[in-house]
Every structure is written in structure tokens, then in C-alpha cells.
Amino acid sequence: MDRELRVAVDAARAAAEAIRGIAERHAFTAIDKSHGRGPLTEADLAANAILVDALRTAFPDDGLLSEESKDGPERLGRRRVWIIDPLDGTKEFVNGVPQYVVSVGLAIDGEPAVGVLVNPPSGEVFTGIVGGGATYQGQDCRVTSRSSLEGARLLVSSTEHGKGWFDHLQGVCEVEPMGSVAYKAGLVAAGLADATFTPKPRNEWDLLGGVACIVAAGGRCTDGTGTPYRFNAPDPLKIGVCLTNTALHEAVMGLMQG
């Protein structure tokens, strides 16, 4: 997977550079996607074009699923499928909150294989090869070993936090609201947080890059029922997210179901 990782990192960095350039102009248009799917900007589209071109050129026989490209059934017959979110956290991008990433993932036979996340404002790079380890900023990384919720750092949806969903955890653990799902996953993989979770649905492009990084770093990732993720499904929507350092997984699942 070394070549796959190298291509993915180069493409994600180029996409992040395009996003950063647009952000620095402080002049871009955001339009609302249909069906309440949030905003879309020229940064999403520019990053998507860079990623799709790079991946299709390097791996023409692989399938591809992107949040910003029209989906089709042809990917379902491919063993290897790249699943990408050119800008996970567009709302944060629009609002100037530096909690968004370019997310690139490769699934093989439905299983996470490679993940790359790049945060354009900070330049942070998270990578993972399942079975081959994970890195943060070029250094090997692992998930934390914390086995108790007491004192744990849990990353949650800013929207859900604002609704008071986690008020009952005050004084037990550190619950921090944050934007991008994929960025939260990267921080768990890097050992900078213990878990992230939501009972709400998320799409495969929100998940695969971060899931691959966490699994490569020794973590555990399931949907809201505790079932390990399978990718490249006809419907990319997954019900619930529980991404942890493994040791806390059952405890975090308990929070979701309590």
C-alpha cells in the first residue's frame, strides 16, 4: 500500500493547498445543497477536481465515490474503491473555524485499507495503512490506552453539544465540541483524544479516511449498533458513529445507548 498512500497524501496536500488559497482570499460563495446537506463552495469543487484527477490517473481500474461527484453503480463491482470527502467540515470552512479536513480513503473488499486526512489551516497530516501503522505529522502514532471514562477526552458534534446532549457528563470526562467528523477521527488516531461518537447518521465519505487511520493506530470503529463498518455499499449512509481507542469502546457505546 506504499504507492497508494503516497498518491493519496500528495493529492490530499494539493487539495488542501487549493482550499487554503481560496480561504485566504476571504471571498467565495457558499450555496446550500439540496435536502439539508449543508453548504457547498468553490473550495469543495476545486479540491474534488484535484483528488478525482489524481486518483483516476494513478489507479484507473479502481472505483471512486465522492461527496461532490455524481454516484453510479459501476463502483459496486470493484474490489478497490476510493471514497473521498474533498472538504469535510464545509460549514466550519465557511465560518472560519479551522476544524475541517481533506479526507481520502481506500476500501478493499469493503474493508478500510488506507486513510489520509489533511487539515488545510494547520497543515496537520494524518495517515494510516491498516496492518501497517499510522502517522501524525510524519511520526508514528497510536491511540490512547485510557480505559476509563473518567478524565477521557471525547470529541462530539458542535450542534449536538449546543443542544445540551452531553451536559450529564460534566465532571466525569472532557467533552469537546468540534466540527469535521473526519478531523475528530484523526485526533483519535493520533492519540490526542480518546473517542468520538454520534448516534446520528454519517456517510461513507465522512468516515472511511478517519476509520482507516484509527484502525491502523490500534483503535476500534463501529456504527451505532456496534457493527464494524463495511464500505462501498449501494447506500453510503451509516447509522451512528463510535470511533474509539478500543479500550473505551463499550463504555462509549453505553453513552450512545443510554
Q: Does residue 134 share a domain with residue 226?
A: no
- Indicate if 103 and 186 belong to the same structural domain: no
Q: Does 61 fall in a domain?
A: yes
- pLDDT value at position 36? 47
* Whether residues 128 and 185 fall in one domain: no
CATH number at residue 65: 3.30.540.10
Domain termination residue (choose one: 109, 141, 173): 141
Half-sphere exposure of 22 (CA within 13 A, CB side): 21
- Residues 128, 44, single domain; the answer is yes
> What pLDDT shows up at residue 204?
97
> Are residues 120 and 10 part of one domain?
yes
- For the purposes of burial, counting CB atoms within 10 Å of the CB of 3, is it exposed (0-12), middle (13-18) or buried (19 or more)? exposed
25 and 134 housed in the same domain: yes
User: Residues 122, 243: one domain?
Assistant: no
Q: Are 161 and 187 members of one domain?
A: yes
Q: What is the dihedral of CA 20, 25, 27, 29, to 10 degrees?
A: -30
pTM of the full predicted structure? Answer: 0.94
Mark whether 56 and 12 lie in a shared domain: yes
CATH number of the structural domain spanning residue 176? 3.40.190.80
Domain boundary (107, 141, 175) is at: 141
- Whether 148 is covered by a domain: the verdict is no
In a domain, 171, yes or no: yes
Residues 55 and 47: their CA atoms lie apart, in Å, by 12
Q: What is the pLDDT along the chain (258 residues), one digit of tens a residue?
A: 999 999 999 999 999 999 999 998 866 666 665 444 568 889 999 999 999 999 999 999 999 999 999 999 999 999 999 999 999 999 999 999 999 999 999 999 999 999 999 999 999 999 999 999 999 999 999 999 999 999 999 999 999 998 998 888 888 899 999 999 999 999 999 999 999 999 999 999 999 999 999 999 999 999 999 999 999 999 999 999 999 999 999 999 998 876
Could you tell me the residue range of the domain that residue 128 belongs to? 2-141
Residue 241 lies in a domain: yes
Q: How many domains does the chain have?
A: 2
Domain match, 130 and 14 both? yes
Residues 191 and 104 in one domain: no
Give the containing element (helix H, strand E) for 88: strand 80-88
Shared domain for 158 and 62, answered yes or no, is no
Alpha helices in 26-174 (DSSP H): 42-58, 90-95, 158-162
- The per-residue pLDDT for 33 is 57
Domain boundary residue, one of 141, 175, 191: 141
Tell me, what's the pLDDT at 35? Answer: 46
- Identify the helix (H) or strand (E) that includes residue 251: helix 249-257
